Structure 1
Amino acid sequence: MLKKIKLGLVPKLLIAIGLGVLVGQLTFIPDFLLQIPVTLSALFSQLLAFIIPLMIVGYVIKGISDLTDGAGKLLGLNVLLAYSNTSIGGFIAYFLASSLFPLFIDASVRETVQIDGTELSPLFTFPLEPLFSVTSAIVFAFLFGVFISWLRKEKKGEVLYNVFTEFGEIITQILNTIIIPGLPIYIFGNFLNLSYSGAVFSLLSVFWRVFIVVISLQILLLIILFTLAGLYTGKNPIVLLKNQIPGYFTALGTQSSAATIPVNMECARKNGVSKEIREFVIPLSSTIHLMGSVVTITSCVTAVLLMFDMPHSFSMMAGFIATLGVALVAAPGAPGGAIMSALPFVYIVGIDPTGSLGNLLISLYITQDSFGTAANISGDNAIALIIDKVYNKYIS
């Protein structure tokens, strides 16, 4: 009996992109047939717009409640290192992207990616409106997150905390069973439309260059992070990096920080991190340390803004990057989780997450997701090394 081959999300997305480009070029297919997958993509986009405010409520409230709960010096140090490293990675990515990307995203590219008026329209849409706006959801989530944390410090608020925790679990289940599995169909319809309009080849010429820059930066940042950890702990950075290789490649395959925790724990053991520290830091950091994902998202957002000649000033991007450090804390441990959690906040930089630019952003990010995850979990072990040294020197 032949063994059933199970494709991961990235192969499915690559196939969807390839088929979308191919089908969009087949001029003998009637437009009304091509409009069927375009309609499915439009309906998916409407569902995404409905879910986005609920994602903010479901994830951000619990994330803030957990992070501000104050569970001791180690938690504070872990959160500080994770957030600082995540934000620094995002700022470096922005400066690099804003310097390098204009070299291959020029006026000629901008002219060819303009698709307004040349794309296929959906056969119909469904009048599905979000329950409340993204801005309302953000304000609600931050206020309730902070004050639920305050209630918990007063030995109250557990009922509310559990309600929003379980609400977040429902949102995660919706993402894992509907949104993320539906991404290949969504991407197929998007790229079919881009191919039909003639913009796809210019976009692909940008995609692969962004891909190279992002992965190179992630690897460089990991080398720097492990070098600093090695210098602080008195260990050989080359040996530390070598011991991390199994964790890195496991994350590439699983595309999930959560699924890589057991292998990452073994990497930490080989690097000499004590049992009590690795059992505390590795699971926590897999949730709150997202350097690789923020590097990818920041780079992709900058690329999209440049392609459409939109503002991308440091002041605007700084607020976006700072928000990502908190917003992605509750990103589900599934492929594509980071960009799904980031979508509600791309409004900050002027991108509609359910419009054509949001579609491009998802397409650009999702094919690089596994490398971001690998950088995330590898950085977790560098943080564990530093915390282990601090614990043994000052706290224990």
Structure 2
Amino acid sequence: MKLIGKLVIGIVSGIIIGLVAPEFLIRIIVTFKELFGQFLGFTIPLIIIFYIASGIASFGKHSGKMLGITAAISYASTILAGTLAFIVALIIIPRLVGSSGGSAEEGAGFEPFFEIAIDPITGVMTALVIAFVFGIGITRINSPTLQSFFDEGKEIVERLIWKIIIPFLPFYIASIFAELGADGAVFETLKAFGLVLVMAVVVHWIWLIILYIIAGTYTGKNPFSALKTMLPAYFTGLGTMSSAATIPVTVRATKNNKVSDGVADSAVPLCATIHLSGSTITLVICSVAVMVLANGLSLPTFGLMMPFIFMLGIIMIAAPGVPGGAVMAALGLLSTMLGFDETTLGLMIALYMAQDSFGTATNVTGDGAIALMVDKLIGDSSNNHAA
């Protein structure tokens, strides 16, 4: 919540500065925005390589059967949640914010005083392939040296995020809104943001209800009673904004739904790493909104968004442990697949961070439904094998 407060202050102060500041000050702010945006782009492949490789390598600690079943259901949940979010966004957002776009455009009248190119070490897709090759390879050859390299690399990147990116993030958001304020586009953008955030939370709950109806129907449990049992995990996730920090509460609530101890103790921590349906819903809805608002972008089609959603389901492995991890991990996809520039990426960060706690709460609550289905599948499989 402290970070959200700083981001709100950044947005408000940025708007005020943008409305009253002279042009030379706006150019200084735009220069900072460009430099920080370059540095942010440099960190994206590092996040993907070290977080995904480290995460996949850690899967070796789980049984193959548990991992396979949990990963398959989690990925399906994430993809279906993202698809639902896109359908809702496609229907509602153009009617809410208008389909003409252009309110979140990058101001052509304010150029930075200078630019420094900070090239990333590799492209997003190459980073993703590297992460999977080494992550899977570590589980196959059982290399403690490589495991340690990627774990320690992950720790370095995480400290980079905590010590540099997160402290400067409110200033970066302020710089974006200062430019929007100077361009005269800020109030339309803020109005659209409020509507989009409310819609994201509503879709979160629609998906949770759908997910628990599916789980309840398959397991023979009352879906609404099971969902009610998971509410402590929801509100804990709302407060902590961390799936990892909420694991103990999620495990306890899952066991209260009569999930076996072995499945609850294994599936819930695994889901905290790979099941981020709430975060995916928010990313999809917010990306559609930004594309509608921005100049140079248009209302996305299924052909454009479905590959993006499928890739989100994979790249979300890099999200846990990073503050606002889902949007940080997704920045590369947003730029390469959807054509976002520095301004629209900054708007995505602001939008996502504003509801990060609700996305996390949806993620951890959905983990309980996944655990119900995994417990049933493993129990049925064991019974059939015994027979």
1:263 aligned residue: 249
Amino acid at match of 1:23: I
- Structure 2: which 5+ residue stretches go unaligned? none
Q: Specify which of 351, 356, 369 is matched with residue 382 of structure 1.
A: 369
What is the rounded CA distance, in whole Å, between the counterparts of 2:277 and 2:113 in structure 1? 41
Q: Does 1:101 align with 2:93?
A: yes
1:74 aligned residue: 66
What is the rounded CA distance, in whole Å, between the counterparts of 2:34 and 2:102 in structure 1? 24
1:68 CA displacement:
8.4
Aligned ranges for residues 1-396 of structure 1 at < 5 Å? 8-26=2-20, 29-66=21-58, 71-108=63-100, 110-118=101-109, 120-146=110-136, 148-149=137-138, 152-153=139-140, 155-308=141-294, 309-310=297-298, 312-352=300-340, 355-395=342-382
1:156 CA displacement:
4.7
What is the rounded CA distance, in whole Å, between the counterparts of 2:309 and 2:142 in structure 1? 33
What is the rounded CA distance, in whole Å, between the counterparts of 1:266 and 1:142 in structure 2? 32
What is the rounded CA distance, in whole Å, between the counterparts of 2:299 and 2:91 in structure 1? 14
What is the rounded CA distance, in whole Å, between the counterparts of 1:65 and 1:315 in structure 2? 33
Q: Residues 107 and 381 from structure 1, CA distance in 2 versus in 1: closer, same or farther, beyond 3 angstroms?
A: closer
Amino acid at match of 2:245: A
- 1:11-64: per-residue Cα shift (whole Å, max 9, x none)? 2212211221122222xx333334444333322212111111222221233344
The two structures have a TM-score, normalised by structure 2, of 0.91
What is the rounded CA distance, in whole Å, between the counterparts of 1:343 and 1:165 in structure 2? 22
1:3 aligned residue: none
Q: CA RMSD in A?
A: 2.3
1:4 aligned residue: none
1:371 CA displacement:
0.9
SS state at 1:333 partner: coil
Identity of aligned residues (%): 39
What is the rounded CA distance, in whole Å, between the counterparts of 1:255 and 1:294 in structure 2? 15
What is the rounded CA distance, in whole Å, between the counterparts of 1:67 and 1:352 in structure 2? 33
What is the rounded CA distance, in whole Å, between the counterparts of 1:285 and 1:132 in structure 2? 29
- 1:44-103: per-residue Cα shift (whole Å, max 9, x none)? 212111111222221233344456898322211111111110111011111111121111
Instruction: Judge conservation of contact 2:103–2:185 (CA < 8 Å) in 1.
Output: yes
Amino acid at match of 2:46: L
What is the rounded CA distance, in whole Å, between the counterparts of 2:153 and 2:222 in structure 1? 45
SS state at 1:25 partner: helix
Instruction: Judge conservation of contact 2:315–2:330 (CA < 8 Å) in 1.
Output: yes
1:222 CA displacement:
0.4
Instruction: Judge conservation of contact 1:232–1:386 (CA < 8 Å) in 2.
Output: yes
Instruction: Judge conservation of contact 1:9–1:335 (CA < 8 Å) in 2.
Output: no
What is the rounded CA distance, in whole Å, between the counterparts of 1:67 and 1:122 in structure 2? 45
1:160 CA displacement:
2.6
What is the rounded CA distance, in whole Å, between the counterparts of 1:75 and 1:137 in structure 2? 23
Q: Residues 136 and 235 from structure 1, CA distance in 2 versus in 1: closer, same or farther, beyond 3 angstroms?
A: closer
What is the rounded CA distance, in whole Å, between the counterparts of 2:122 and 2:226 in structure 1? 48
Amino acid at match of 1:116: G
What is the rounded CA distance, in whole Å, between the counterparts of 1:183 and 1:341 in structure 2? 15
SS state at 2:115 partner: coil
Instruction: Judge conservation of contact 1:261–1:282 (CA < 8 Å) in 2.
Output: yes
Amino acid at match of 2:307: G
What is the rounded CA distance, in whole Å, between the counterparts of 2:23 and 2:107 in structure 1? 17
1:302 CA displacement:
1.5
Instruction: Judge conservation of contact 1:320–1:348 (CA < 8 Å) in 2.
Output: no
Instruction: Judge conservation of contact 1:42–1:125 (CA < 8 Å) in 2.
Output: yes
What is the rounded CA distance, in whole Å, between the counterparts of 1:312 and 1:392 in structure 2? 42
Q: Residues 312 and 67 from structure 1, CA distance in 2 versus in 1: closer, same or farther, beyond 3 angstroms?
A: farther
What is the rounded CA distance, in whole Å, between the counterparts of 2:168 and 2:258 in structure 1? 42
